[in-house]
Amino acid sequence: MTDTTPARRSGGEVARPGRDAKPPRRSVLPAPGQGFGLTFAQMFKKVTTEEYPFEPKVTKPRYHGRHVLNRHPDGLEKCVGCELCAWACPADAIYVEGGDNTEDERYSPGERYGRVYQINYLRCIFCGLCIEACPTRSLTMSNDFELADDNRRDLIYTKEQLMAPLLPGMEAPPHPMRLGDDEKDYYVRTPNPANPAEPVVGEKV
Ligand code: SF4
Ligand code: SF4
């Protein structure tokens, strides 16, 4: 069996691992020689210079970058103006004002939509708490990290800058609900006829 008893030094004192380690051996070179030796050794190491912006860096897939306000497949906005993202933000970076949808002017399924939406990138710390708080998965984060600018005003992004682009088959709001008569039709999948046993769960896209 291995002896795990701490080593004892002369006089019965117990040696403490780490704190009582032996001091490093002194170099025979004078201090300037040691310094230049370190510099000289670097010349033979692999260069890790990033050629940004000529070669843009590829981020990890789940990198927290600029936010996106997403749309439903028919183009209506997923944001319902609930302000939960703004309340969750520890940096007070989000400003939301909700508005009422009407049958003549509808921007999202349901009663409300995000009439004003702003994110202040001078404050944002990219923690992702806002996207965790969003109940409709309207707010997500992209991998875009190029957010520098030369003035403060342009770093407050507006709803128009944050909205996801319209994909083929989408229609620019305002327009009526195209995916059903009720807002639940946008969030709850209907049973799969090919597999009726498959559970019907809330949409998370
Ligand atoms: S990522 Fe964090 S700091 Fe930035 S807006 Fe969201 S909650 Fe606020
Ligand atoms: S982005 Fe999400 S949490 Fe924020 S106001 Fe819109 S629906 Fe609510």
Structure confidence by residue, pLDDT tens digits, 133-142: 999 999 999 9
Counting ligands in written order, the one closest to the CA of 67 is 1
Give the model's pLDDT for residue 204: 42
Give the model's pLDDT for residue 28: 80
> Which CATH number goes with the domain that contains 163?
3.30.70.3270
Torsion of CA 100, 114, 158, 104, to 10 degrees: -40
Helix (H/G/I), strand (E/B), else coil: 127? coil
Neighbours of 148 (CB within 10 A): 7
Structure confidence by residue, pLDDT tens digits, 153-174: 999 999 999 999 999 999 999 9
**What does the block give as tokens for 36?**
């230049």
Which residue range is the domain that position 112 belongs to? 67-187
Do the domain assignments include residue 131? yes
Q: Answer left, alpha or beta for residue 61, where phi above 0 means left and psi between -120 and 50 means alpha.
A: alpha
**What's the gap in Å between 113 CA and the centre of ligand 2?**
9
- In sequence order, the β-bridge partners of residue 96 are 117
Structure confidence by residue, pLDDT tens digits, 89-133: 999 999 999 999 999 999 999 899 999 999 999 999 999 999 999
Torsion of CA 186, 190, 195, 198, to 10 degrees: 70
Q: What is the mean pLDDT of the chain?
A: 87
Do the domain assignments include residue 29? no
Count of the separate structural domains present in the chain: 1
The pLDDT of 55-65, averaged and rounded, is 92
Pick the more confident residue, 200 or 50: 50
Q: Within 6 Å (CB) of ligand 1, which residues are found? A: 88-89, 91, 93-94, 119, 124-130
Query: Cα(180)–Cα(197) distance, rounded to whole angstroms?
Result: 23
